[in-house]
Amino acid sequence: MDFIIPDWPAPPSIGAASTTRQGGVSVAPFDSFNLAGHVGDAPEAVAANRALLVKSLALPAEPVWLSQMHDTTVVDAGHSEPGVEADASVAFGPDVVCAVMTADCLPVLLCHERGDRVGVVHAGWRGLSTGVLEAAVRALGGGDGLMAWLGPAIGPEAFQVGGEVREAFLDRDPGAAIAFQPDGERWLADLYTLARRRLAARGVTTVYGGGWCTFSDARRFFSYRREPRTGRMASLIWIRR
C-alpha cells in the first residue's frame, strides 16, 4: 500500500493518513485504490478497497464517509450516519474516523495540540472561497491550539481558473491576489496558499504539508481535471484510545 502519513507534530493519540491511487483492486480507469462508490467503479471493488483501507491502517472503525456538496456544512462524525451531506467532519473522542474524498480538491486535516479533537475538510475552490475551513475551525472551538496539514491537491502550475474564481476570493480577502498568477485570459490558482491564508485569519498558523500536484503525478494520484472518469483518494484522521 502507498499511504502518505502527515509529517506534523500531532500528539501520539492522533492517527492520520492520505491514500494514493496505488494498492487496490479496481481496474482502469479507477486503477487501483479507488474508494468512491459514486464514480462508476464496480461496487465489489470499492468494498474490497475500503476493507483494505481499514485493515492496512488498523482503523478503529469504518470511516464516516460524507456525501460532499462543495458547501460549508460541518458535521460531528460521532453522531452522523454514513452518507450525510457535508464537506467537513469533526470528532471529539476515540473510535470515530473522519474522512473526505478528493481527486484535485484540497483535503485539510485538523487536530488540537491536546489530542482531544480532530477534523477533516474537503476544500474545493467553492467551499474554500465561501468559508468551509472557517466553519471547521469554529466547530473545533476556534483556532487556538489547532494545527493543520494540507494533503495532495492540484498544484499551482496546473489549476487554471476563470476570473470569477479569483474575484470570489478577493471579495473576502484582497490579499489573496498573491495566490493567482495570470495565464493568458485566465489565472493559475494556488489552493495551498489560499488555504494557509484562510487558516491564519482564524488563528491556525501551524500549518504543514502541501506541495503535491494531483494533476501532474498520474502514477500516484487520481485527478478529475486530467481524467473526468476516475477514482477518489481519501484523507482520514482519528483519535486513538
CATH number of the domain residue 39 falls in: 3.60.140.10
**pTM > 0.95:** yes
112 domain-assigned: yes
- Residue 173 included in any domain: no
Cα–Cα distance between 16 and 18 in angstroms, integer? 7
Using an 8 Å Cβ cutoff, are 152 and 102 in contact? yes
233 lies in some domain = yes
Quick: pLDDT tens for 83-117. Answer: 999 999 999 999 999 999 999 999 999 999 999 99
185 domain residue, yes or no: no
- Number of domain units in the chain: 1
- In-domain check, residue 186: no
Q: What is the pLDDT of residues 184-211, one digit of tens each?
A: 999 999 999 999 999 999 999 999 999 9
- Is residue 172, in this structure, part of any structural domain at all? no
Range of the domain at 59: 3-155+203-239
Give the start-end residues of each E strand in 83-189. 84-85, 88-91, 97-102, 106-112, 118-123, 146-150, 160-161, 180-183, 186-189
Q: Assess if residue 198 is contained within a domain.
A: no
- Say which residues have a Cβ less than 8 Å from residue 11's Cβ, sequence separation at least 6: 111, 113, 114, 115
Residue range 23-37: mean pLDDT, rounded? 97
Radius of gyration, alpha carbons of the chain: 17
- Residues 74 and 86: beta-carbon distance below 8 Å: yes
